[in-house]
Amino acid sequence: MHSLFPPLALKLGAFVALSPIELSTLQKFHDRRRSFEPGVDLVRQGQFGKMAYILWEGWVCTYKKLQSGSRQIIDFRIPGDFLGLRSVLFRTSDHNIEAMTKIEVSEVSENDLIGTFSKTPRLATAVLWAASRDEAMVVEHLVSIGRRNAPERTAHFLLELGARLKLVGMGTKKGYSCPLSQNMLADALGMTSIHMNRVLRQLREEGFLTFRNGEVIFDNFKGLVTLADFDTGYLDQDGPLLR
The footprint of DNA (CB under 7 A) covers: 149-151, 181-183, 190-195, 197-201, 212-213
Residues in the chain: 243
Report how many residues bind a copy of itself under the rule CB under 8 A.
51
Rounded-to-10 torsion of CA 151, 155, 157, 162: 160
Name the strand (E) or helix (H) holding 33. Answer: strand 33-36
Closest distance to DNA from the beta carbon of 65 (Å): 15
- Of the chain, the end-to-end C-alpha distance in Å amounts to 26
Residue 112 within binding range of a copy of itself, rule CB under 8 A = no
DSSP sequence for 49-96: ---EEEEEES-EEEEEE-TTS-EEEEEEE-TT-EESTTTTTSSS-SSE
Q: How far apart are CA 51 and CA 28, in angstroms?
A: 17
When binding is defined by CB under 8 A, the residue of 19, 24, 92, 109 that contacts a copy of itself is 92
Is 95 one of the binding residues for a copy of itself (CB under 8 A)?
Answer: yes
Selection from a copy of itself, DNA, none that 212 binds (CB < 5 to 8 A by kind) is DNA
User: Which chain residues interact with a copy of itself by CB under 8 A?
Assistant: 15, 46, 64, 66-68, 70-72, 74, 86-92, 94-95, 114, 117-118, 121, 124-125, 128-129, 131-132, 134-136, 138-143, 145-148, 189-190, 229, 233-234, 236, 238-239, 242
